[in-house]
Chains A and B, each alone.
Chain A
Amino acid sequence: MWPDMTRFTRRTVLRTAAVTVAAAIAATTTACAAPPPPKEVVQPAQNIETSSGLVIDGEQIADKELWDAAVAEGGITLYTGYTENTEAALLKQFKADTGLQVNVVRLTPNRLYERISAEYGADRLKADVVRISDSGFVSSLSEKGVFQPYTPSTATNLHEDVVFDGGNYYRTFDPIYTFGYNNAIIPADEAPTSWSVMTDPAMRGKIGIAQVGAGGSALALTRFQRSVLGDEFLTAYAGNRPRIFDSLGAELDSLARGEVQVGTTVVSAVNLAQARNAPVQFVIPKEGFAVYDYYTGVASTATNVNAAKVFMNWNLSQRGQNVFRELGEYSVRTDVEAPYILGEQFPPFESEQVHRVLPAEAKGYAKEDQQMWNSLFGYNE
């Protein structure tokens, strides 16, 4: 089935190649301009000391013994379901603060869960730390024995409901799930302020939504929409010809490119996308929005246990939690404020506008919500 290349001469190939290259050069002559400077959304640490353990801006992240052992290990392998760009922005700060390396395995939470289950079953899990959303996934992994208990020295001033299974894993932050719009197409003064935009006939075919099976995030949004906005809202949404995306990342890209004008999205992802010149903006709807839990724990298979512990300490420290806040997530510490992102102040975590689905509630409704969503949106029945 392979072409017989003797059929055309080298000259014809070269000629065609030359034409192609010439066209390419013509198309890119304007490409020599300097790139716009990349914007940083997170502030670097002011002061890092490593003479007696790791101390960042006066906060002790690791004592000397742990720190020396971690440095000797050099870094960790992190299995994460957290959005790729956001995890990268966070890890950039972690690496700058600690000098430890992080080898990242990133998959959407549902694929990550399958992958970890398979690798753990085959005795090939290489993770030192696992980070995943969806309380169902994380508790199932915990039952299988994927985690080992650990109590970070920085785990102080925590909100309720942060430590799980005796320190096997920790709620580490809560991303904000709302909707956003393309602000190159919709000017800021005409921007929607309510979820009702999704059911507006004028927006028919111009809206997006991520499929419910994409992990804990999508289920949390569905729970919020069903309990606060009602099933009739979801029915109307499904009837307004939304484009259904397999992942939030793909949806945000479509939103930025203007394929859809309004779509569900996560605040931290919008924050980073705007820093990269994407014309997207989020909305704090008057009806409120969903937040969902992200969990992190030291893997029982960890070979770099000390570096993994430093990573956990850093994640739950004031420094780490402030990095999460600046990215656009809610902190799990009481001494870290609600995020202020792109000129918008978010309400405190306890506010009525903030709808967090409790783990028990999430597990209880997961199946029913998923079935309901699938049948409404005609997906995977």
Chain B
Amino acid sequence: MTATMTRPSAPTPVQPKGSPAGVRAFKRILPSGLQLIILALLVLFPVGFVLLAAFTDTSPGPGSLGEASFTVSNFKVLFTSSALTAMLNSALVGLGSSIVALVIGSGMAFLAARTNVPGRKLIYFFGIAPLFLPALVGALAWAQLGSPASGYINVVARAIGVPDLINIYSFGGLIFVLGLYYAPYTFLMVHSALSLMNPDLEDAASLHGAPLSKMLRVITFPLVMPAIVGSGILVFALTVENFPVAQVIGVPGQIDTLPTLIYRLMNASPSRQNAAAAIAVVLTALLMIVVFIQQRTVAKKQYTTVSGKGVRARRVPLRSWRWPAAIAAWAYFLLAVILPIAALLITALQTSPYLGKLNELFEPGALSFYSMGQTLQDAEFWHVLRNSVIVGLGTAIIGTALCFALSYTRYRTNAWGRKALEYIAMLPLAIPAIVLGLGLLWTWLTLPIPVYGTLIVLVIACIAVFIPQGYRGVSSSIVQLDKDLEDSAIMLGARRPKAISFVTVPLLRVGLSSTFLLLLMLGMRELTAVLFLFTSDTRLLSIAIFDAYDNGSFQQAAELSLLYIVVIGILAVLARRLGAKDVA
């Protein structure tokens, strides 16, 4: 998120000379038309099928379209006590966890960006580290730590004489875990706003004699307010649509949210797909409103804080609060990363699932690597791992290429329908992953293209969910790049494709490689979008973990989670290495 002075100039027509008008028009429509078809398959068809299922009495599938008849009775499910409670729960959980994430994220961002706290750079790392832990894994770990009676924290508390210290399967627990793992989003947005802020205004306040506290109150916080509010709304949207944490932490405490209700209706016997679709429509509508507000807020932010001057923002001296602040930041890292990983490790190594007293852990034979070794020798594990890597790489490669094509069309051509392309590309931001997954299932079961049951459909799902992130990543770099560079190549006789591959793409490699890395990570972590789409041959690591949990094997889920973290870590380092070499 660097500031830029260059604004995208009005696109100028890029016309091949001397073609007949019809061919010209066709050439003008072809690229954007093609992209529109791809986006329609990724986004519009799934949404259409969810709408269809919500307003008809049969669930979409091969041959069912002819029998479907219109009805609004599916929406009756909204007025049942389950749905009303779930709606209320979703709103409260979203609100609560955004507040938690805001407090943690903004606090950490302030410490890392603008104070003299000890170990400032480490605190930046703490702020983003939880991003490497998929929310599903964090939730499973916290179920181990904080479950009533047998959670490790409760076992330790009992050893020092405090019975029933915490129950994670509660409203507070759900809000806490979501807040913990979504705080990095607030952190990143607020941190960049605080770092990029023009210090002139603060200097002016100081020069005129304002004490530090007044300067912070009157100048600094109002300036970053849009970033805080924007990230708060973003976290609200993300937590409301979150499925894995709600399923692992909320459902055992009988707290249903809209995504878990959709999942349960889909898996009820008999399945109630039309009711699930009706709830999906409502959830999507709510999310669209929230995302719309968020986009408006963030747009305002850029107005105030972005400046071209690379002046260092001033540091606030914390004085006697230096160490307490550092300890608070460490505590966050402990809660979000260290304790969960330790809990997963103990669970994976325990030879008996029951732990009544703490000292039982230290008895001979209580812990063993035997089971972990068995998993590593299991062919199924390697098969699942291979699937995950293929889907992650597929999402990253195809997704980056698609997002480049979209951004290029949007910002470098006058192609027909390029604004529409942008709108559709950003649409998935407002569609919950569980709804998109549902729509994709129906789309690919119905369309006569045989990709259902292959890894391709999982790649499609991941790309569909993460297009907005990828598109944003690429287009933020493309608008910074002066288009004259590419045009110079044209002037010197290169054809357009050659100019793009030898001038534009190399100049964009930093932006493209970080988009690649982002999509790779997101694709490796995804559970919700692929939940309805996987088959036996195409299970991913995230699915295997969820299945192990669902089948009641916490130990296996913990083993796989640890290996999952290791794989994600290795990939991040590798991708970073390769990307860095390319840039250098």
Contacts and interface: CB of A to CB of B under 8 A. Distances in A.
Contacts of A33: 364-368
18 contacts: A2-B517, A2-B521, A3-B188, A7-B121, A7-B124, A9-B121, A24-B341, A28-B367, A35-B365, A110-B267, A114-B267, A121-B63, A124-B452, A126-B535, A246-B550, A257-B150, A259-B147, A381-B80
Interface string B326-357: 00000000000110011001100101111110
Interface string A1-34: 1111101110011011000100110011011111
Contacts of A253: 353, 552-554
Contacts of B453: 119, 122, 124, 126
A34 to B, nearest CB: 7
A333 B10 CA distance: 81
Nearest to A243: B252
Interface in A155-213: 182, 184-185, 213
A251 B552 contact: yes
A108 interface: yes
B371 interface: yes
Contacts, number: 197
B125 A258 contact: no
Contact of A122 (B62, B129, B265, B553): B62
A181 to B, nearest CB: 12
A59 interface: no
B550 A3 contact: no
Interface in B360-384: 361-362, 364-371
Q: Which interface residue of B81, B264, B346, B353 has the most chain A CB atoms within 10 A?
A: B353
A121 B60 CA distance: 11
A6 to B, nearest CB: 10
Given A9-B121, A34-B365, A184-B354, A215 B269 contact: yes
Contact of B269 (A109, A184, A243): A109
A80 B201 CA distance: 68
B549 interface: yes
Q: Which interface residue of A123, A126, A249, A279 has the most chain B CB atoms within 10 A?
A: A249
A109 B267 CA distance: 10
B365 A16 contact: no
B149 interface: yes
A308 interface: no
Given A105-B536, A277-B351, A252 B124 contact: no
Contact of B576 (A5, A111, A276): A5
B15 to A, nearest CB: 37
Contacts of B368: 31, 33-35
Contacts of A118: 61, 441, 445
Interface of A: 1-5, 7-9, 12-13, 15-16, 20, 23-24, 27-28, 30-36, 77, 79, 83-85, 103-106, 108-111, 113-115, 118-119, 121-124, 126, 134, 137, 182, 184-185, 213-215, 243-254, 256-259, 276-279, 378-381
Contacts of A1: 185, 188, 469, 472, 518
A83 B249 CA distance: 23
B293 interface: no
A152 B17 CA distance: 76
Contacts of A2: 473, 514, 517-518, 521
B193 to A, nearest CB: 14
B238 to A, nearest CB: 11
Contacts of B371: 35
B551 interface: yes
Contacts of A124: 450, 452-453, 535
Nearest to A377: B254
B128 interface: yes
Contacts of B369: 28, 31-32
A181 B124 CA distance: 48
Main secondary structure of the interface of B (DSSP, over half): helix
A28 B354 contact: no
B264 A380 contact: yes
B443 to A, nearest CB: 12
Contact of B125 (A16, A251, A259): A16
Contact of A110 (B125, B131, B149, B269): B269
Contact of A213 (B184, B268, B517, B521): B268
Given A30-B361, A119-B535, A247-B551, A3 B131 contact: yes
Nearest to A247: B550
Given A119-B453, A250-B550, A184 B149 contact: no
Contacts of A244: 254
Contact of A256 (B353, B535, B576): B353
B148 interface: yes
A235 B267 CA distance: 25
Contacts of B353: 253, 256-257, 277-278
A201 B573 CA distance: 55
Contacts of B81: 378, 381
A223 to B, nearest CB: 15
B1 interface: yes
6 pairs of A and B residues whose beta carbons are closest in the complex: A249-B552, A110-B269, A105-B536, A35-B370, A253-B552, A277-B352
A24 B252 contact: no
B387 to A, nearest CB: 15
Contacts of B62: 121-123
Interface in B56-86: 61-63, 80-82
Given A35-B368, A250-B552, A8 B122 contact: yes
A27 B147 contact: no
A238 B167 CA distance: 21
Given A30-B361, A114-B267, A184 B356 contact: yes
A12 B122 contact: yes
Given A30-B362, A279-B352, A23 B338 contact: yes
Nearest to B148: A259
B121 A248 contact: no
B488 interface: no
B206 interface: no
A282 B370 CA distance: 28
Given A249-B550, A250-B552, A259-B147, A4 B1 contact: yes
B288 interface: no
A123 B355 CA distance: 48
Contacts of B1: 4
A122 B445 contact: yes
Given A1-B469, A24-B341, A30-B362, A258 B367 contact: no
B453 to A, nearest CB: 5
Contact of B356 (A9, A31, A77, A185): A185
A5 B269 CA distance: 48
B490 interface: no
A35 B352 CA distance: 10
A83 B551 CA distance: 8
A16 B370 CA distance: 28
